Structure 1
Amino acid sequence: MCGLLALVCAPARSVTDEIVGAVADSSHLMRHRGPDEPGTWSNDDVVLGFNRLSIIDIAHSHQPLRWGPPESPERYALVFNGEIYNYLELRAALRSDFGAEFATEGDGEAIVAAYHYWGTEALTRLRGMFAFALWDTEAGELFCARDPFGIKPLFMATGPAGTVVGSEKKCLLDLADAVGFDTGIDGRAVQHYTVLQYVPEPETLQRGVRRLESGSYARIRPGAAPEVTRYFVPRFSPVPFVSGREKTRYDEITAVLEDSVAKHMRADVTVGAFLSGGIDSTAIAALAIRHNPKLITFTTGFEREGFSEVDVAVASAEAIGARHVTKVVSQAEFVAALPEIVWYLDEPVADPALVPLFFIAREARKHVKVVLSGEGADELFGGYTIYREPLSLKAFDYLPRPLRRSVGKASKPLPDGMRGKSLLHRGSLTLEERYYGNARSFSDAQLRAVLPGFRPDWTHTDVTAPLYAQSQGWDPVARMQHIDLFTWLRGDILVKADKMTMANSLELRVPFLDPEVFAVASRLPLEQKITRTTTKYALRRALEPIVPAHVLHRAKLGFPVPIRHWLRSGELLDWAYQMVDSSQAGEFVDIAAVRRMLDEHRMGVSDHSRRLWTVLIFMLWFAIFIDGSVTPSISEPVYPVQL
């Protein structure tokens, strides 16, 4: 895990000492991503900046990394964030097939050599998480790429003076004047954020900054805009189970997970694991302890009864034989950390679960330098309860379209909260109309009330329509999974995982999000993912010999956060009123409307907690990055190089 920054100058402006210094200074804003070793490299066209978190080949594999074939030994310069877990196999193949030579024992050289000999096909051979920028001195271009699922981030901005790319948006914004790109707020992105609770790729809240999407690469030449190409499109292609041979398919799931975890354990530092009360993280920890009998697991909870996974996680750790560490978060700690957390985020993400993740990452970093976690299992194996909705709405599929619409209209006069109203309304809609991921906080009427610039033509379909077009003919659950791979997973789950662990200089690895694991999961038929009584059916069957019985069929909780209660009394409510009353974001948010929502929630008239949290996090982001009225206190702990 590391932080990278690269500036490709326009032809009329060659790299100077001043530009190198500016990139080095901007790179320091993400020192938390790599406190072990900074570095820069430049030529007349490009300057690369880097902050390293040393995990593999600690004494060597310095970056920016130079590599080339024997005839041109310093042709390439690489800055790379992430890990390539099959780097040993790649290096062996490159030696055998091409006689490639390596000066280090790390995974960075495997990327460069693979690109040199295999071209862009190399990206499909990498098993890992990555965002990298590779300067080719002979071609005179910067080649950038992200991993298939978007585990690691990469921002891009182009102006008259060139193009800058980096792991964190704040570093790009620090160079905005030098590069000359637009930093104004994108109103459509604000509306998308309010609906989805995150800013969907490739957007950011600044018009001039975009993200290189997951599974894509870009070529950047001096004086030209980035040329972006998608190299990975996930496809769910179910293969029916053969009666009597189900165990073979379950064994296939087990085998590919065992292999993925084994490769994710490769490191020259200590590897631990996050452990909630669910099946996903427990499975990863149970497989990981086979490779590290001294495995340490970590979980978090809150000082409120019913909002803790601690007891289940402790029981799971005891069952698999792991040492366990717990961090309990108070409401006061929660509130005090919010400005720092939003600064680390770069973009607002209205998922309160990222706060406990921040705290458990900080606790884990006292003991280990790398943790494994269970992200991605729900999207790949069918783990969200909402995926069962097509089964409950199946009867509506047999109604003529006009009749379905009539049912929806008939449900509108029914009182909110009345049993059956939501079912009738959602049954009247097509899948494309009703499903845009796990975040569904605001109706159009509610959006109009809080967004002064609301536009009905800026909807979730901006994001989802192209994705639904790719999945025509698939079963409804596979189509929902496809939506989530491109929206909720990479917009919320992976952003909070990357940002909250990197805030604490901790590397997080996600063994479920492996190309080989996806290949197996993508072949599961509908009935092996979702039934009327459970989710992740095939995965649960496969994990029966591995996961403790008390976890195997437990409902998904994650790290539940009591914001509904805390926004009715105590420090969080006080903070919320202060944030609303002092906000300067009135151009984008109706301050009076938000205050009315907060009053109604406090008095128990309505539960506005999710909507309030979405708006409050935007207000805090605005106060930090736009009007400067909030200045977070950013701690800069100095960690040892090796744990």
Structure 2
Amino acid sequence: MCGFTGFIGNTGNTPAVLEQMMDRIIHRGPDSSGTFIEDEAALGFRRLSIIDLEAGHQPLYNEDESSVLIFNGEIYNFMQLREELIGKGHVFTTHTDSEVLIHGYEEYGEELVKKLRGMFAFVIWDRKEKKLFAARDMFGIKPFYYAQMNGTLLFGSEIKSFLPHPHFIKELNEQALKPYLTFQFPVLNETFFKGVFKLPAAHSMTYQNGELSIQRYWSPEFQPEAQPLEELVEEIDQVVRESIQAHRISDVKVGSFLSSGVDSSYVASVLRPNKTFTVGFSDQNFSEIDNAKALSDELGIENVNEVLDPDACFEKLDEIQYMMDEPHSNPSIVPLYFLAELARKDVTVVLSGEGADELFGGYAEYDTTPALKKYKQLPAIFRKPLGSVARILPEVRGKNFMVKGGRPAEDWFIGQAKIFQEREAASLLKAPYKKGPSVKEIVRPYYDEVKHEDDITKMQYLDLHLWLVDDILLKADKMSMAHSIELRVPFLDREVMGAAAKVPSNYRVNDIDTKYAFRLAAGRALPEESANRKKIGFPVPIRHWIRDEKYYIQIRETFSRPETAEFFDQKEILKLLQDHYEQKANNARKIWTVFMFLVWYKKYFS
């Protein structure tokens, strides 16, 4: 697990520039570094040693050194690929998973990515052809950013590594703010830094003679099979257990994050690490420590836990937003930062439960209430007109019921977070920032790809492309790497996806539960209480914090700064804050979303 950065383009004093870029991401790889510089190509690498501690240095070359690799991630089927490539005559000099990429590219070219099982972002520079090939894993577990500026292609694991480059132009992307206020995360392909883009999950990229080309190599498909439930459950359990075993491969200590939810509990129960790690808050209903400790005790595992202090959380907000690269207002980022810090004292690798909800149908939003199910049994000729009328109503009681009951998912579901209504977000913003793409423009391309599927599948598909990549996985990567710890997600695996794709929607979500078949599989490893426990989702007491005078004053001062007027109608955001403080409304998530943007902006632009 590591980080990389680099560029293709002529720059005076290239070694010094590259070194400065690498220094910005030293947290991703504190163990060692390496560089490749030749003509216009400059590749920089920071290493966190996990496998083959002695020989796993990068950049890495093929036999005749005509190609050079820098790579962030883990390839879990590297032993099989290694044997296959040795059989074809390739000569290996290390026992790392990295080396299968450079020889695999020699053998299979760009088709290599379709053979990989793992999490990855990598760059291969072909020295003869003067051609760059890069790729990102199928789920987007590892980040990859790029920018073309002043005749130079910049690329890397984190945007902050671009800042020292003399050709980099640091400019705010005005179009990113409005969608962020609705989604709570940076949802656009172009980041908050104008001209800096994310390479999407399951895409590869080539760059040659100044021409950039991006291709998609995989897309998730749900293809339910008419199998007995017991067979599906058996297959899920087998593939999950096998994936967890594959994800434990390491030459360093491995632990497990553990909440009270079924996903991380399933991982911990199969993995049986020496230690699990949990954080929580002292506020009632905002801690999962007791449940995590009870399961750990039952499994005979030590649970290392910590109750977080709000003062410490507020002190780290600017550091957290800096590490995220872009503004991000999911409150769970805060405890995740401290959880990674806690775990790093004991281990270098942790397994976690991200991805099961998206693959197996675990979110409450995928379910419908009994009343809504009855309503949906009415003829569509009655429901659709009511749903259409409801969409243009203000936020009144019953509006969501009529919209959800009368319209398909694409007309109302945008993912797991919806902070500001689009109209409200625009009303708070100053003119230059009202522009951004509409919510419909953002979600429509994904819905168009699954327009003939049922609503549950549509919602999962959207979450796999937006929420999972740019909220769940982004914060998991950035907060773990902030503390030089590798986080692995065994549910987000090629083989597990194959099993999930077979599950009919009524075994994903039904009258009994969400993630129904998956819970039955987890029940084979877990006590019944843990397998059926409802999701809490890393709760953070921001609602209470903002009503604490100390933190209220801190936020109010931020909202009142002159630079805040560049973006927001200060009277309106101060009213949101005051109404919440006086308990006239619960505006916590809205306030936090505005506040996090301003914290981030000050860190990067002030």
Question: How many angstroms apart in 1 are the aligned matches of 2:392 and 2:196?
Answer: 41
Q: Please, which of 195, 209, 214 is the counterpart of residue 228 of structure 1?
A: 214
Task: Name the structure 1 match of 2:389.
Answer: 409
**In structure 1, C-alpha distance between the alignment counterparts of 2:506 and 2:386, rounded to whole Å:** 31
Separation in 2, partners of 1:583, 1:388 = 45
Q: Which of 191, 195, 211 is equivalent to 1:208?
A: 195
Q: Does 1:22 align with 2:17?
A: yes
Note if 1:279 corresponds to 2:270. Answer: no
Per the alignment, residue 56 of structure 1 pairs with 51
**1:149 is the counterpart of 2:125:** no
Deviation (angstroms), 1:426:
3.4
1:382-411 CA-to-partner distances (Å, cap 9, x unmatched) read 000000139864544754468633455369
Match of 1:109 among 94, 99, 116: 99
Q: Does residue 383 in structure 1 map to residue 383 in structure 2? A: no
Q: Kindly indicate whether residue 396 of structure 2 is the aligned counterpart of residue 424 of structure 1.
A: no
Task: Tell me which moved more, 271-280 or 435-444.
Answer: 435-444
Whole-Å separation in 1 of the counterparts to 2:280 and 2:380: 49
Q: Structure 1 348/401 Cα, relative in aligned 2: closer, same or farther at 3 Å?
A: farther
Instruction: Give the whole-Å Cα distance in 1 for the aligned partners of 2:266 and 2:157.
Output: 30
The equivalent position to 2:244 in structure 1, one of 244, 255, 261, is 261
Deviation at 1:270, TM superposition (A): 0.3
AA aligned to 1:575 is Q
% same residue: 36
| Per-residue deviation, residues 416-446 of structure 1 (Å, max 9, x unmatched) | 4x4x343124334332110110111112332
Aligned match for 2:167, one of 176, 179, 196: 179
SS of residue matched to 2:192: coil
Q: Aligned pair 1:196/2:183, yes or no?
A: yes
* Alignment check: 8 A CA contact 1:217 1:230 kept: yes
The 1:411–1:193 alpha-carbon spacing in structure 2 relative to 1, beyond 3 Å, is closer
User: Are the structure 2 counterparts of residues 111 and 390 from structure 1 closer, same or farther at C-alpha, using a change threshold of 3 Å?
Assistant: farther
Give, in whole Å, the separation in 1 of the partners of 2:132 and 2:410: 38
Give matches, 1:567-582, under 5 Å: 567-582=546-561
Amino acid at match of 2:410: E
CA distance in structure 2 between the aligned counterparts of 1:134 and 1:405, rounded to whole angstroms: 54
Q: 1:545-604 CA distances to partner (integer Å, 9 max, x unpaired)? A: 201222111110121100011111144323211221226132322222111100000001
From the superposition, tell whether residues 400 and 252 of structure 1 become closer, same or farther in structure 2 (CA, over 3 Å): closer
1:591-624 deviation line (CA, Å, top 9, x unaligned)? 2211110000000111111111111100111111
Q: Is the 8 A contact 1:583 1:591 kept in 2?
A: no
Equivalent position to 1:36, from 17, 31, 39: 31
Contact preservation (8 Å) 1:408, 1:426: no
Q: Give secondary structure in 2 for the equivalent of 1:351.
A: coil
Residue in 2 that maps onto 1:443: 421
Whole-angstrom distance in 2 between the partners of 1:438 and 1:404: 24
> Take 1:194 and 1:589, find their aligned partners in 2: how far apart are those partners?
11
Q: 1:374 to 1:413 in 2, by over 3 A?
A: closer
Q: Do the aligned partners of 2:178 and 2:436 also contact (CA within 8 Å) in 1?
A: no
1:119 matched to 2:119: no
Shift of 1:86: 1.3
1:224-246 superposed Cα distances (whole Å, 9 cap, x missing partner)? 3x21101011111111224xxx3
1:82 aligns with 2:62: no
- Per the TM alignment, residue 414 of structure 1 is displaced from its structure 2 partner at its CA by 8.8
**Cα separation, 2, equivalents of 1:122 and 1:413:** 51
Q: State the partner residue of 1:296.
A: 275
Q: Which amino acid aligns with 2:112?
A: A
Instruction: Kindly state the Cα deviation for residue 496 of structure 1 after the two structures are TM-superposed.
Output: 0.6
Quote how far apart the aligned CAs of 1:61 are: 1.5
For residue 155 of structure 2, give the secondary structure of its aligned residue in structure 1. strand
Equivalent position amino acid for 2:352 in 1: S
Q: CA deviation at 1:135?
A: 0.6
Q: How does 1:489-500 map to 2 (within 5 A)?
A: 489-500=468-479
Bigger shift: residues 308-317 or 563-572: 563-572
1:515-594 matches, cutoff 5 A:
515-582=494-561, 584-594=563-573
CA distance in 1, matches of 2:529, 2:379: 42
CA–CA separation in structure 1 for the residues paired with 2:393 and 2:100: 62
Conserved 8 A contact 2:558-2:564: no
Q: Give the C-alpha shift of residue 266 in structure 1.
A: 0.4
Residue of structure 2 equivalent to 1:640: none
CA deviation string 1:13-47 (max 9, x = no partner): 3x65x112101111101100000001111111201
The alignment status of 1:342 with 2:321, answered yes or no, reads yes
1:217 to 2:204 alignment: yes
Give me the whole-angstrom Cα distance separating, in 2, the residues matched to 1:80 and 1:555.
38
1:239 corresponds in structure 2 to 225
Question: C-alpha distance in 2, partners of 1:57/1:570?
Answer: 52
Alignment of 1:306 with 2:285, yes or no, is yes
Structure 2 residue aligned with 1:139: 129
Contact 2:269 2:299 in 1 (8 A): yes
The 1-side partners of 2:26 and 2:304 are apart by 26
Q: Distance in 1 between matches of 2:252 and 2:402?
A: 54
Paired positions, count: 604
SS in 2 for 1:240: coil
Alignment partner, residue 632 of structure 1: none
> 1:461-517: CA deviations, max 9, x gaps?
222111011112112111110000011000100011000000000000000000110
SS where residue 475 of structure 2 aligns? helix
CA distance in 2, matches of 1:231, 1:522: 18
Residue aligned with 1:585, SS: helix
User: 1:4, 1:166 within 8 Å by CA — same for their partners in 2?
Assistant: yes
Question: In the aligned structure 2, how far is the partner of 1:411 from the partner of 1:79?
Answer: 49
For residues 410 and 258 of structure 1, what CA distance do their matches in structure 2 show? 46
The 2-side partners of 1:591 and 1:221 are apart by 47
TM-score normalised per structure 2:
0.96
| Cα gap change, 1:388 to 1:36, in 2 (>3 Å) | same
Equivalent-residue separation in structure 1 for 2:336 and 2:391 (angstroms) = 40
1:501–1:508 CA contact under 8 A, matched in 2: yes
Relative to the length of structure 1, the TM-score reads 0.91
Structure 1 regions of 5+ residues with no counterpart? 628-643
Task: Report if aligned partners of 2:403, 2:412 keep a CA contact under 8 Å in 1.
Answer: no
Alpha carbons 1:163, 1:179 under 8 Å: kept: no
Partner Cα separation in structure 2 for residue 407 and residue 494 of structure 1: 34
* Cα distance change of structure 1 residues 502 and 571 upon mapping to structure 2, 3 Å threshold: farther
Of residues 491-500 and 109-118 in structure 1, the stretch that sits farther from structure 2 once superposed is: 109-118
